[in-house]
Amino acid sequence: MNILEKYRSQELVEKVLAQIRKIITRPWAIMEICGGQTHAFMQYGLTDMLPKEVELIHGPGCPVCVTSLELVDKAIAIASNPNVIFTSYGDMLRVPGSNQDLFSVRASGGDVRVVYSPIEALRIAEENPDRQVVFFGIGFETTAPSNAISVIKAKAQMVSNYSMLVSHVCVPPAMRAILNSSANRVQGFLAAGHVCAVMGYKEYEPIARQYHTPIAVTGFEPLDLVLGIYETVKMLESGVFEVHNAYPRAVTRDGNKTAQSIIEQTLEPCDRNWRGIGEIPMSGWKLKKEYQNFDAELRFDVADIKTKESEICISGLILQGLKKPFECPAFGTLCTPQNPLGATMVSSEGACSAYYRYGRK
């Protein structure tokens, strides 16, 4: 059995599910922070296979969904400038701004291009020295090192027409914000394996202790997901408030030191607005002073953007685990992946899109 067969083996998944059934004695509400895990649970039918005592609450770990409306509107304003080539990952093009999205800018003649990495955007800048090239740098800790490298390279190679619209967010402050909320129902977390592969899981240990909330670092294959649930239930049932690593083939406690040093070199913590949730103190990263010449927000005159959120969309409540997508009156009617009203219906990691795609009404 190769590694993929092992982690997708129905027999092994059912063995772990049997172990969970054996130890569980009462209902527990567990949040999978990462939208990729939300999709994987549904895609593999695991939500229906888990014991009924396990309630999955979907968290805010979808970078497309939480990128603030203000930054989406700024992206649209910058992309509308005829001297700009605006580059972005594909999902962001369909995220609704206050009045339009990046696709509409492209349809109106704007030069908006989908790229697969910030290095590709940097190459476009080198090939087009007479144009400004902007990369929409969204994401959690996972994408921060590669985005940061593009800025380091741009500085070293003096590519002065390259800049980045930075929208980086970090997981631990969001976990604290959820746990501090008076409406919180989360009793345990599945931490996102790819984020922990970069950052390690040391910074989660004080959260588990302080809030009496166990955390299992969890991967993305079916066996990873049920192992994450098993570790969390085991800690909940025995009153242990620790971090267990259920994804040791990719994650160590200290994480990837090289990636962390790239982040430290270029980025520093800042307050950040999360779409639908609001400002979370020190929950994001911005470029350090030495790299501010590459900050698109400073390079372009976009300070006075006025935003207007959809009055119907309740994605903020969904991202905090307070509502499920099918509780939104627009779900599957006014709001579909073809005509999204909110970012959680656009993104391949968004909870609304997962419920729509896998028929969870």
**Residue 108: which of 123, 125, 92, 86 has the closest Cα?**
86
Judged by CB under 6 A, the chain residues 284 through 313 that form the site for ligand SF4 are 312-313
Instruction: Work out whether 315 is an interface residue with ligand SF4 (CB under 6 A).
Output: yes
Contact between 328 and ligand SF4 by CB under 6 A: the answer reads yes
319 binds ligand SF4 (CB under 6 A): no
Q: Does 162 bind ligand SF4 (CB under 6 A)?
A: no
- The SS3 of residue 90 is helix
Of 124, 117, 136, nearest in space to 161 by CA: 124
CA 110 to chain centre: 27
Distance in Å, CB of 312 to ligand SF4, minimum: 5
- Restricting to residues 119-148, name those near ligand SF4 by CB under 6 A: none
Should residue 95 be labelled a site residue for ligand SF4 when binding is judged by CB under 6 A? no
Site string for ligand SF4, 182-221 (x = CB under 6 A): ----------------------------------------
Q: Least CB distance from residue 342 to ligand SF4, whole Å? A: 3
342 lies in the binding site for ligand SF4 (CB under 6 A)? yes
Q: Is 335 a binder of ligand SF4 (CB under 6 A)?
A: yes
| Residue 325 binds to ligand SF4 (criterion: CB under 6 A) | yes
Please say whether the beta carbons of 55 and 30 come within 8 A: yes
Residue closer to ligand SF4, measured from CB, 95 or 236: 95
Beta carbon of residue 69, minimum distance to ligand SF4 (angstroms, whole number): 12
In this complex, which beta carbon is closest to ligand SF4, that of residue 125 or of residue 330? 330
Q: Does 352 bind ligand SF4 (CB under 6 A)?
A: yes
Q: In this structure, what token pair is assigned to residue 312?
A: 């119907």
Does residue 64 interact with ligand SF4 by CB under 6 A?
A: no
Please report how close the Cβ of residue 221 comes to ligand SF4 at its closest, in angstroms: 27
Q: How far apart are CA 223 and CA 3, in angstroms?
A: 11
**Cβ–Cβ < 8 Å for 278, 60:** no
- Does residue 72 interact with ligand SF4 by CB under 6 A? no
Give Cβ neighbours of residue 54 (< 8 Å, ≥ 6 apart): 20, 24, 27, 28, 30, 229, 233
Backbone angles phi, psi at 169, to 5 degrees: -125, 155
Residues with Cβ within 8 Å of residue 29, at least 6 apart in sequence: 55, 57, 185, 186, 187, 188
Chain CA centroid to CA 190, Å: 14
